[in-house]
Amino acid sequence: MWASITFMMDFIPYVGALISLIPPIFLGFIVLNPTWVAILILVLVLNQQAWGAVVEPQLAGQRLDMSPIVLLLLVAFWGWAWGVMGMVLGVPLAVIMKIALESDPRTRPIAMLLSRDPKQQAVEEE
């Protein structure tokens, strides 16, 4: 159950996975003694930060070619428009939008603005 919650919340960049750690930590406070709760919190936060700060951005940035600032702004917008469900759907909607903009030569400059490395994309087109 915790993995499913973490998986869904991980679609919200930067804060989603940290929010998903709250239920297991509360359960730890109920079941474990204080020393083990501190260890649990330390392990969960370190694990999440290692994955969230190092592994996932490298993989997502290379595969999706999306600027992290654009992703954060789009998730904030969709969160404002649709709430939590908009935050979950923000990244997939951003990728779909970028792919759609790349497919038409008239809108390709807009897609380049969303890209992580627009110079590389311009070189690939030539």
Residue 66 confidence (pLDDT) above 90? no
Are 93 and 74 in contact by the 8 Å Cβ rule? The answer is yes
Q: What is the 3-state secondary structure (H, E, C) of the chain?
A: CHHHHHHHHCCCCCCHHHHHCHHHHHHHHHHCCHHHHHHHHHHHHHHHHHHHHHHHHHHHHHHHCCCHHHHHHHHHHHHHHHCHHHHHHHHHHHHHHHHHHHHCCCCHHHHHHHCCCHHHHHHHHC
pLDDT of res. 121:
58
As a whole-number percent, the residues of the chain with pLDDT over 90 amount to 16
Q: Average model confidence (pLDDT) for the chain?
A: 81
Give the whole-number percent of the chain exceeding pLDDT 70.
84
- Digit-coded pLDDT (tens) for 38-55: 999 999 888 887 776 667
Per domain, the residue ranges of the chain are: 1-64, 66-117
Whole-model pTM: value is 0.56
Which tokens in the block code for residue 25?
Answer: 């930590």
The DSSP element (H or E) to which 31 belongs, if any, is: helix 22-31
The answer to whether residues 72 and 14 touch, using CB atoms and an 8 Å cutoff, is: yes
| pLDDT higher than 90, residue 29 | yes
User: Residue 36's pLDDT is what?
Assistant: 94
Query: At residue 3, what are phi and psi to the nearest 5 degrees?
Result: -65, -40
